Structure 1
Amino acid sequence: MTSTIRASVVPFVIEAEGTGVAQTLVSQGDNKHEFHTDAYPAFGGKDEAPSPLFYALGALTSCNQVTAALVAKDLGITLGKFTFTIQGDLDTLVLVKGEEGNSNFEKVTVDATVETDATEEQFGTFVSEVERRCPVTQLFVRSGLEFHNNWKRNELA
């Protein structure tokens, strides 16, 4: 049985190998990018590379910024410098101790500041659209965790 993939669908493929809890990962495509993961010693790692959990939160900042650029273009607004602080609160009892429950983050908070020429009204639309259109934001939001998305607007420098 074959399935037809729409022309607008882009496959994102990662190949990985590792031992213990450390991995080397390579993104597939025209430009292969290699990156590494490890874990804290409490999770069985050596802390020699970022944890997959840091990559998940980092993907959230990066995807928000990429999506913001696309949304700003659609809205006709200009963006300058971004700053992000993202915190994910993880209860490790399921992951480490095997207890019953949800191993997901309990809460993720995004604090973002962006320089822009958008009016307050445009900025509200901008933030709403970024949240709606960002694939990684939607992974977090649709997972059911407590999600806080706080964006602040600064005047364009």
Structure 2
Amino acid sequence: MSNKLNIIVNARSEGLTIKNKAGKHEFIIDEGKQMGGRDLGPNPLQAVLGALAACENVTARVVAREMNFDFKDMELKISGKFDPRGFMGSPHTRPYFEAVKVDVKIMTTEPEGRINELQHKVESRCPVYTMLKAAQVEMIDSWQKA
């Protein structure tokens, strides 16, 4: 018997708007009006960065519990560098993020060394983070006590 999870999202498009259903949850990903969308939700790349923030949060909380780490909360600011020429068909430009910058402020009483240990473990176990690294996206990370 396999321990692997099968993650399913069902989606239906309405022009550039896509309505997604994941289990009992629904969410919309869209493009801005300047791209011909209806601006009803984040665009796909914003959704990826949001998924990264959510995944790092969940992973940090799981790892902190394992480490007996005093984890109160965290704030993340995530930005991605993207060259739209790849999306537009330029064969020498990749159509996804070149670099992603993750700035984390963690609310804790833990010393810097323990924060660094938590960061290392999160970055090695977070599924979205490791997927971006595997795609050779340059990950620029800063974790600091708030």
Settle same-fold status: TM greater than 0.5: yes
What value does the CA root-mean-square deviation take over the aligned residues? 1.3
* TM superposition shift of 1:64: 0.4
Q: 2:16 aligns with which of 10, 15, 21?
A: 21
* TM superposition shift of 1:50: 1.2
**1:36-58 deviation line (CA, Å, top 9, x unaligned):** 11112343312222111111000
Q: Percent identity?
A: 29
Rounded Cα–Cα distance in structure 2 between residues aligned with 1:150 and 1:130: 13
Aligned to 1:153: 145
Q: 1:11 aligns with which of 6, 12, 17?
A: 6
Kindly report structure 1 stretches of 4+ aligned residues shifted beyond 4 Å: none
Alignment length (residue pairs): 145
Q: How does 1:97-116 map to 2 (within 5 A)?
A: 97-100=88-91, 101-116=93-108
Q: How does 1:38-117 map to 2 (within 5 A)?
A: 38-95=30-87, 97-100=88-91, 101-117=93-109
TM-score where L is the length of structure 1: 0.86
Gaps of 5+ in 2: none
SS of residue matched to 1:105: coil
Gaps of 5+ in 1: none
TM-score where L is the length of structure 2: 0.92
**1:81-126 deviation line (CA, Å, top 9, x unaligned):** 211100011111121x322121011110000001112222221111
Contact 2:116 2:143 in 1 (8 A): no
